[in-house]
A = this chain, B = another copy of it.
C-alpha cells in the first residue's frame, strides 16, 4: 500500500538511512501514488458530509437491501432513490424505522449522527401534480441532508395568480428548487420574483415535442430570469444536493 510505502520512506529519513533529498526524489518519482487514499476519503467525508445514497434503479430489491444493511450496521443511515414498489416494501420490512415516500419513490434511514438541522427552508415549487415524484425526490434528499423543506405545489404559469398569491412563501425561502415539465416556464417567473438562489429541475412530464423533458430543459437553460441554474431532467436528487451545497455555506457562515 502507498501509505506503507510513504511511511517506510519517512522512517528511512528519520533513521538517517536516506537523506531528505532522496526521499523527496522518491516521492516525486511516484507522484501519482503519493496520496493516501483512505485519508482523503476520510477528509472528503468530513468536507462533503453527504450520507450514502443508493440509486435503486437497475438493482434488485435484494441487492439494495444488502447495501443498505451494510450501511445501517455502521450506523451511517442511507437514502435510497428511484425505489420501485418492491424495493420500498423490502426496505420497510427489513428496517422498520425508515421513512418511506411513495410519491418520490425514496426510502431513508437516519444515521446515528444525522446532519445538524439547518434553519430556513429550501422551498420546492412544483408546476403540476405530474411533477410531484421529482419534487418529492428532491424533498426527501434535502431532508436527509439536514435541510428544512417547504413545498408549494401546482402553481404552473398557466394559472399565474396561484403562484403570485403565495408570494410570501417565495420571499422567505433560502434556496428555491423549481420543478416543471412541459414548457419549463416556471423557473423564469420564480427567478424574476425572488433574489434567492434558484435551481431549476426539468421533468420528463409531457409527450410528443416535449422530447422526454428536453423541451423543458432547453427552456430553463434559456431562462429570461438571470442567474437561474439547471440540473439534469428528473434529477430531484441533484437539485437537493446543489441546494445543500448552498445551505451548508449559509449555516457555517464561512468558506464551506
Interface residue stretch chosen among A98-106, A108-116, A224-232: A224-232
Q: Which residues of the partner chain B approach A210 to less than 8 Å between Cβ atoms? A: 218, 222, 232
Choose one: B7, B40, B209, B211; the contact of A161 (CB below 8 Å).
B40
Q: A20-B10, A157-B224, A226-B237 are in contact. Are A215 and B208 (CB under 8 A)?
A: no
B194 lies within 8 A of A183 (CB): no
A64 to chain B, nearest CB (A): 13
A199 lies within 8 A of B36 (CB): no
Q: In whole angstroms, what is the CA distance A47 to B39 when docked?
A: 29
B198 lies within 8 A of A245 (CB): yes
B224 lies within 8 A of A158 (CB): yes
Q: Which residues of the partner chain B approach A249 to less than 8 Å between Cβ atoms? A: 174-175, 196-197, 246, 250
Closest residue of chain B to A26 (Cβ to Cβ) is B10
Q: Does A58 lie at the interface of the complex (its beta carbon under 8 Å from any beta carbon of B)?
A: yes
B182 lies within 8 A of A222 (CB): yes
A162 to chain B, nearest CB (A): 7
Q: A161-B37, A224-B158 are in contact. Are A246 and B248 (CB under 8 A)?
A: no
Q: In whole angstroms, what is the CA distance A33 to B43 when docked?
A: 14
Number of copies: 8
0 or 1 for each of A183-213: is its CB under 8 Å from B? (1 = yes): 1110011011111111100101011111111
Q: A13-B10, A215-B218, A218-B218 are in contact. Are A164 and B32 (CB under 8 A)?
A: yes
0 or 1 for each of A229-256: is its CB under 8 Å from B? (1 = yes): 1111111011011111110111001111
Choose one: B24, B33, B230, B245; the contact of A227 (CB below 8 Å).
B245
A10 lies within 8 A of B35 (CB): no
Q: Does A19 lie at the interface of the complex (its beta carbon under 8 Å from any beta carbon of B)?
A: yes
Please name the 7 residue pairs, one residue from A and one from B, whose CB atoms are nearest each other, closest first. Answer: A32-B167, A208-B233, A227-B241, A185-B185, A229-B229, A158-B192, A10-B20
Q: A156-B224, A160-B160, A218-B218 are in contact. List 15 more A-B contacts (CB 8 A).
A: A13-B14, A14-B16, A34-B35, A44-B161, A157-B225, A158-B192, A164-B164, A171-B255, A175-B249, A208-B222, A208-B232, A214-B218, A215-B215, A227-B241, A229-B229
